Amino acid sequence: MQLTPLIAVHMSAAIAAVALGPVALWARRGHAGPQRHSQRPRLHRAAGYAWVTLMLVTALSAIFIRDFKLPNIAGYTPIHLLVPVVLGSLFFSFRALLRGDIRRHRRLMVWLYMSACLVAGAFTLLPNRYLGGLVASLWAALA
């Protein structure tokens, strides 16, 4: 697989989501006690909406990226199962937010970041994946 404009958009959005996710999660975390004002709701909301947009770009662009080398069905590999997971998690997270269930919203967003960004991101670094091969060749060139 080579770097196409679609893969570049997908990869850029995914990497930006991995980097921005902790900002959104950290900004809303308050400290117990007299320093509760340490929450940053404007930063949380801005970073959160940007992160959600990046996740939507990542998930929707993944629909059009197919890999016929790995085990697949019509070019869709097991990692494509993350597309409905991401879309569903975002839907249920915002639904919880609209209902005032902040605890559920927080749990869903943390779970989504951990599973779709960190775990899936780790799988993209496998040697037989495009990004994994790129990173491996960069490390080899530096060694």
Using an 8 Å Cβ cutoff, are 89 and 56 in contact?
no
Q: Is the pLDDT of residue 112 over 60?
A: yes
The pTM of this model reads 0.84
What is the number of domains present in the chain?
A: 1
How far is CA 143 from its chain centroid?
30
In the chain, helix, strand, coil percent, each to 5?
A: 75, 0, 25
- In sequence order, which residues have a C-beta less than 8 Å from that of residue 23 and are 6 or more positions away? 43, 47, 51
Q: Would you state the pLDDT for residue 53?
A: 98
User: Domain containing 49: what range?
Assistant: 5-142
Q: Is the pLDDT of residue 68 over 60?
A: yes
Considering only CA atoms, which of 19, 26, 92, 82 is closest in space to residue 50?
19
Q: What is the DSSP string of 61-74?
A: HHTT---SSSS-BT
